[in-house]
Each structure stands twice: as C-alpha cells, then as structure tokens.
C-alpha cells in the first residue's frame, strides 16, 4: 500500500508566463465556496492602490455600483483594470494582505484571481499601452471604456464608462443578476436595453 505521506503536493497547471508574474505568491489549494467582496475591503484596497500611485479602474459588478453611487447587491469579487506595468506594485500589496492565487481554467498573465483567507477575491485585468496611451496588448479594453467616474463608499473612483459597461454585459447567456445591473444602468444613463435581455423581459 502506498505511503500517504509520499503523495505529491498540490501542483496546479499554471502557464509559465503567469507563474513568472506571480513570483513567490502561492496558489491556494482550496478556494472558498462562498466568496464575498464587501465594501470595506474594496475601499481598503482602492485606498492602498491610490497611496501606491496605481491608477485603478473598477470593472464588473462594483463598477455598476460605482456608477450608481450605492451598493445594489452582494459581490463575489472586485474586478480591477490597470496598466500591466503596475502589476508588481499591486501584487506586493495583495501579498502583504495574505492574498493568494486561485486556479482558473481561463487564467493567463493578464487575467487571474487572488483570494485571501476571508474569502475576498480580486479579479485582475491588465493591459499594455503604447507611447500614445492606446491599448496594444493584454486585456483588449475598447478605446474610451476606461473613462467612467463613480463613487464607492467614501471614495470617488475611476470605473468602466456606462455605455461600455452595458456592452460588456452582452454576448453570453445573461442572468437575472446581469439584468438587474444593466437595467439600473440603462435607466440612469438613458441607454437602450440590449436585445440579449428580451427573453428575461418577456418572462416577467
């Protein structure tokens, strides 16, 4: 019978470029089943990034709430978009807060997730720009999409522009959660509701 003590340690298949980016940050073997990114943690991370001089743009569900100016629902993670050259700085901050990498099958060096021991998750999206400031690599954010302004807790924050954020919520099988987010944005910013949501409207 094999000796249980000789079992191989947890070794997820991490792409070499991502492994280089992560450096000494370990991979968490068992991510939480119920991640929750609360407003206090969001505010702390954004404040630390600001102090470190990292220009962060909030994406995802928290971007919706930033544009609305209030938290509409619970969020499993915090999506952050920023220039790839600032990644070492942000990873240093997150590492000191005991954030660790968690494995995802679609991860790569410009998009991956970190989690701390309390189930807070940060979904990182980085891009590369040329000397003109145009995005030439990494996550291909459309031109003009990163210029939104909103508010989270006591902070004014940069976030995804509302028209682009609505567009980001299309092209896949949308959910009731997506419908709520998009409906709020469309109502506030006078944007036509995308046809992706017709089946949810008709079902009501």
pLDDT tens for each residue of 107-124: 999 999 999 999 999 999
In a domain, 138, yes or no: yes
What was the pLDDT predicted at 204?
60
In this structure, what CATH number is given to the domain that contains residue 112? Answer: 3.30.460.40
User: What span, in angstroms and rounded, lies between the C-alpha atoms of 127 and 13?
Assistant: 23
Q: How many domains does the chain have?
A: 1
Q: Give the containing element (helix H, strand E) for 175.
A: none
User: What span, in angstroms and rounded, lies between the C-alpha atoms of 66 and 58?
Assistant: 8
Is 6's pLDDT higher than 70? no
Least confident range of 3-12, 15-24, 136-145: 3-12
In a domain, 178, yes or no: no
In a domain, 159, yes or no: yes
72: CB partners within 8 A, 6+ apart: 64, 65, 180, 181, 184
Domain range for 152 is 33-168
How would you class 42 by CB atoms within 10 Å of its CB: exposed for 0-12, middle for 13-18, buried for 19 or more? Answer: buried
In a domain, 81, yes or no: yes
What was the pLDDT predicted at 7?
45
In a domain, 142, yes or no: yes
What was the pLDDT predicted at 181?
97
148-191 tens-digit pLDDT: 999 999 899 999 999 999 999 999 999 999 999 999 999 999 99
**Facing residues of 62 across strands?**
none
In a domain, 155, yes or no: yes
User: What span, in angstroms and rounded, lies between the C-alpha atoms of 149 and 71?
Assistant: 15
User: What span, in angstroms and rounded, lies between the C-alpha atoms of 172 and 74?
Assistant: 21
The dihedral built from the CA positions of residue 42, 45, 47 and 50, taken in this order, carries a sign that is negative
**Facing residues of 69 across strands?**
none
What was the pLDDT predicted at 11?
58
35-52 tens-digit pLDDT: 999 999 999 999 999 999
Helices 60-68 and 176-189: crossing angle, nearest 10°? Answer: 30
DSSP 159: E
Is 32's pLDDT higher than 60? yes
In a domain, 146, yes or no: yes
Q: Which two tokens stand for residue 103?
A: 């494995």
pTM over 0.75: yes
In a domain, 158, yes or no: yes
What average pLDDT does range 119-148 have in this prediction? Answer: 97
101: CB partners within 8 A, 6+ apart: 14, 22, 25, 26, 27, 28, 112, 113, 114
């Amino acid at each position: 019978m094999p000796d249980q003590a000789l079992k191989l340690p947890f070794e997820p298949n991490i792409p070499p470029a991502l492994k280089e980016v992560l450096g000494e940050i370990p991979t968490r073997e068992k991510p939480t089943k119920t991640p929750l990114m609360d407003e206090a943690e969001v505010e702390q991370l954004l404040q630390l990034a600001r102090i470190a001089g990292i220009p962060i743009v909030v994406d995802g569900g928290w971007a919706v709430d930033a544009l609305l100016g209030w938290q509409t629902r619970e969020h499993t993670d915090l999506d952050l978009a920023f220039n790839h050259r600032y990644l070492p700085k942000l990873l240093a901050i997150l590492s000191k807060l005991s954030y660790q990498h968690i494995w995802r099958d679609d991860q790569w060096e410009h998009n991956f997730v970190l989690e701390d021991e309390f189930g807070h998750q940060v979904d990182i999206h980085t891009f590369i720009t040329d000397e003109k400031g145009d995005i030439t690599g990494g996550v291909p954010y459309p031109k003009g999409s990163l210029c939104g302004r909103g508010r989270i807790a006591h902070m004014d924050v940069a976030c995804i522009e509302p028209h682009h954020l609505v567009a980001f919520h299309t092209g896949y099988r949308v959910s009731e959660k997506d419908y709520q987010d998009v409906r709020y944005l469309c109502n506030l910013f006078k944007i036509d509701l995308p046809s992706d949501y017709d089946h949810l409207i008709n079902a009501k």
